[in-house]
Amino acid sequence: MASRGQHLFSADRRFATGGGLLGLAAPAFDRVLDQLHEGLRTGGFHAILPDGARREIGFHAPGPVATVTLHSWMSLVRLATSGSVGWYKAWEHGEWSSLDLVALFELFAANAVTLGDAARAKGAARWVNALVHRLRDNAPGQARDNIAAHYDLGNDFYAAWLDEGMTYSSAHFLRSPMEGVGSHEAIEPAMLLEQAQSYKISLLLDRLSLAPGSRLLEIGCGWGSLAIAAARRGAIVTGLTLSTEQKAWAEARVAEAGLTDRITIRLQDYRAVTGEYDAIASAEMVEAVGQRWWPVYLDTIARALRPGGRAALQYISIDHRLFARYSASADFIQAYIFPGGMLVDEPSFEALARGRGLSWDGRDGFGAHYAETLRLWRARYDAAVQRGALAGFDDRFHRLWRYYLMYCEGGFKGRCIDVAQVTMVKG
């Protein structure tokens, strides 16, 4: 019997991972290392090459430091031709290793702008991966399959390592006067994950000025934590999800909380929304929309909000300077983890919102908090594996999932991606 989660590896059959004929077009190994050396303006990595030689890559200025052992030259072939998709494939095949993947990903993220195309898919691989990604576009007929690929891994899977509230988005830790950890907000790591997730939900709901009887639409309701918190503030909530697993869990939680008269969970695409609402909340759902559908997503919000109504979003964005290259192909996350996904290009997204009569107010970025959230998730995931709480998933899947959590943690630590909350008011 096949292990659970094996469908995520189907990318191997469709995306270009740098092997085969595409690998023949790779530049010489020294040239790849030279490009990395030039692009790593801050920090660097100690490279142990397949022939036993050592080379220092980068180190032009202080920054993140890692050590990478290249067990096969094929690792550089995959990186040079297929970027992060090929780099993961090389790691999975044992063609390179590092004792601290987070530090390595932080290094690449911190230098993403100056690295240019040195660590991105290029040539034929870029076009192949862009096409495959486009075929998994979140059109109405495909969106449910894309969501199911990730979220229908099973409620038991997520319950084993998320907090008790089953909140699968960045927590927000207590504010403190510490500096130098990310955005203008610093974190208080001693705060429990459950408390930090509850605090994040409170911050998002505070933006909506909910009153008893307020009609709230939640686009992407997950397992119901925000809906329950809003209902306890007196709101009448309609939650949308495309995951059958999430719907069943959320409805059970709503019933247990005695809030069935205040919360309705629908298995429904946001594009099918009708009616008018006083407020809309959406926490890290827009990343599953895709650039092609950003206008439609914002049209839905503008159409569904009453005049003067407020929408609160939590979203993950990528540095605007990187977006053109990022959107031209597909990265590791899009290939293996979130089919059809796309991080937000904030300037473009804000312009689309304003063009629909929606303001863009009170943006609060807290990327360092996401790095801490991911670190805690990984620790909880490892503990779940150790106690046997993730039955049915094999070692290959566990390696993929840990890689994913570390890849994202490094991205937030390196600040090429950010998470933020913002309020949009319909004029």
Q: Does 180 have pLDDT greater than 50?
A: no
pLDDT of residue 20: 57
Q: How confident is the model at residue 139 (pLDDT cuts 50, 70, 90)?
A: confident
Say yes or no: domain 137-425 is CATH 3.40.50.150.
yes
Q: Is the pLDDT of residue 332 over 90?
A: yes
Print the SS3 string covering the chain.
Answer: CCCCCHHHHHHHHHCCCCCHHHHHHCCCHHHHHHHHHHHCCCCEEEEECCCCCEEEEECCCCCCEEEEEECCCHHHHHHHHHHHHHHHHHHHCCCEECCCHHHHHHHHHHCHHHHCCCCCECHHHHHHHHHHHHHCCCCHHHHHHHHHHHHCCCHHHHHCCCCCCCCCCCCCCCCCCCCCCCCCCCCCCCCCHHHHHHHHHHHHHHCCCCCCCCEEEEECCCCCHHHHHHHHCCCEEEEEECCHHHHHHHHHHHHHCCCCCCEEEEECCHHHCCCCEEEEEEECCHHHCCHHHHHHHHHHHHHHEEEEEEEEEEEEEECHHHHHHHHCCCCHHHHHHCCCCCCECHHHHHHHHHCCCECCEEEEECHHHHHHHHHHHHHHHHHHHHCCCCCCCCHHHHHHHHHHHHHHHHHHHCCCEEEEEEEEEEC
> What is the reported pTM?
0.94
Query: What are the boundaries of each domain within the chain?
Result: 6-132, 137-425
> Which pLDDT tens digit goes with each residue over 213-243?
999 999 999 999 999 999 999 999 999 999 9
As annotated, the active-site residues are 408
Asked whether residue 202 carries a pLDDT value surpassing 60, the answer given is yes
